[in-house]
Structure 1
Amino acid sequence: MKKISLKPTNDYCPQTLFLYGTYDENGKPDFGLFCWFSYTWEKELGVMACIGGSKRTKDNIHKSRVFSANLVTEKILPLADYMGVVDGNKPEKMEGLDLEIEKGQVLPVPVLMDSPVTFELEVKEFLPRQDGEVMLCAIRNVLQDETLADKAKTSTEKLVEIAPVQTTCSRYFSWKGENLGAWGEPMKTFSKKNG
């Protein structure tokens, strides 16, 4: 296979999406959509997450040093796309949302109940870069939908059932590789009344 050289890009390298959940200084939940998320190992499984630019989510994480990472599925993609497109500094972003949110079981983080997998994360180290920041995090708890514990189903069946969403080339894709739309498209079907 012949290769060509390109400017830096991550096209054709699908990444899993997460809604990072934080509480602001008034105790109100806030969620932002991110995909720069992977795993580390230092005597135990950890997470490395990166947030580029200025974001309310990043400001909240700096204040509390904790956040949740809620797996994005096809079911919640319109909400996630909305959370990723609408600026978190706009007060109306979170107003009127009909979301089922609970507090984490170990950390004071908002947990989106419609997400089948949520990590409760504590930032152990911030690594500032020029226009972004890498956060090395300890996983303090993992919350999973109880159906994922069903031993009668294979991992493949469970993944198909929860239908996680991936992104690459400025588009969303299903677990099976089906095109779910360009960034900014799924939110057009989002209604604040039904989350």
Structure 2
Amino acid sequence: MNKVNFKGSVMLNPTPVVLVTTKNSDGKINVFTIGWVSTVCTKPPVMAVGIRPERLSYDYIKESMECVINLTTRDMVKIVDYCGVKTGKKEDKIKHFDLELDSGVSISTPSLAISPVSLECKVKSITPLGTHHMFLLDITNVKVNENLIDNNGKICFDKANLICYSHGEYFGLNPKPLGSFGYSIRKKNKPNKKSQKK
């Protein structure tokens, strides 16, 4: 199929959409939405997020050097959208939605109780890039709802009803996987020759 060429642009879709909780030195807590977030390293666990300097939480994170990345679900989509368009400079969004907060374990910033998975982070570095600055975040602790963990200790994200963001719209994720890592080269179980004998 023929393709149309665009100038260099942010076309990576879909992306995770998360709610970030932040806290300043006066103890004020804010929550805001970001869609520019990605895992960049596993050992040590590091994430990258892009944040505009004019956002209130930009100052909070730069001041405290910590934040919490809260994963979002279908039930949270209205909160996600609202916290992405309303500024904490004019309104307490946590109070607006009466959001329950969970105290931090490895940091002082709280997480959102409504979120099924919350990643506590400490800032590793901040790099100005243009409209956004890139924050590299060390993940220091992860809170996971008990009902998402099976008997083998596996986190079942398919049960979390997570959402994503794609070109200005929110979408729910299909809980049925198309495959698992390595399935394309995995050998199929061969029948035991002895079991075939009658």
Provide TM-score, normalisation by structure 2.
0.80
- Residue aligned with 2:7, SS: coil
Which residue identity is paired with 1:4?
A: V
Paired residue for 1:81?
A: 81
- Residue aligned with 2:98, SS: coil
Inter-partner Cα distance in structure 2 for 1:91 and 1:22: 15
Paired residue for 1:38?
A: 38
Q: 1:172 to 1:105 in 2, by over 3 A?
A: same
Identity value in percent: 27
- Mean Cα displacement is larger for which, 110-119 or 127-136? 127-136
Q: 1:54-133 alignment to 2 at 5 Å?
A: 54-133=54-133
Cα deviation code 1:20-68 (max 9, x no counterpart): 1011343132100001111122742211111124100111000000000
Q: 1:14-29 alignment to 2 at 5 Å?
A: 14-29=14-29
Paired residue for 2:2?
A: 2
Q: 1:30 to 1:3 in 2, by over 3 A?
A: same
Aligned length: 175
Paired residue for 1:170?
A: 168
Structure 1 segments of 4 or more deviating over 4 A?
Answer: 152-155
Which residue identity is paired with 1:67?
A: C
- Residue aligned with 2:75, SS: coil
Paired residue for 1:140?
A: 140
Q: CA RMSD in A?
A: 2.2
Instruction: Considering Cα pairs closer than 8 Å and 6+ residues apart, tell me whether 1 or 2 has the greater RCO.
Output: 1
The Cα of 1:74 is off from its aligned counterpart by 0.6
Contact preservation (8 Å) 2:148, 2:159 = no
Which residue identity is paired with 1:61?
A: I
Contact preservation (8 Å) 1:66, 1:121 = yes
Inter-partner Cα distance in structure 2 for 1:45 and 1:95: 32
Which residue identity is paired with 1:175?
A: L
Instruction: Kindly indicate which of the two structures has a greater share of residues assigned to strand.
Output: 1
Contact preservation (8 Å) 2:116, 2:144 = yes
Contact preservation (8 Å) 1:11, 1:168 = no
Inter-partner Cα distance in structure 2 for 1:94 and 1:142: 21
* Structure 1: gaps spanning 5 or more residues: 178-195
* Structure 2: gaps spanning 5 or more residues: 176-198
Q: 1:106 to 1:56 in 2, by over 3 A?
A: same
Inter-partner Cα distance in structure 1 for 2:8 and 2:151: 42
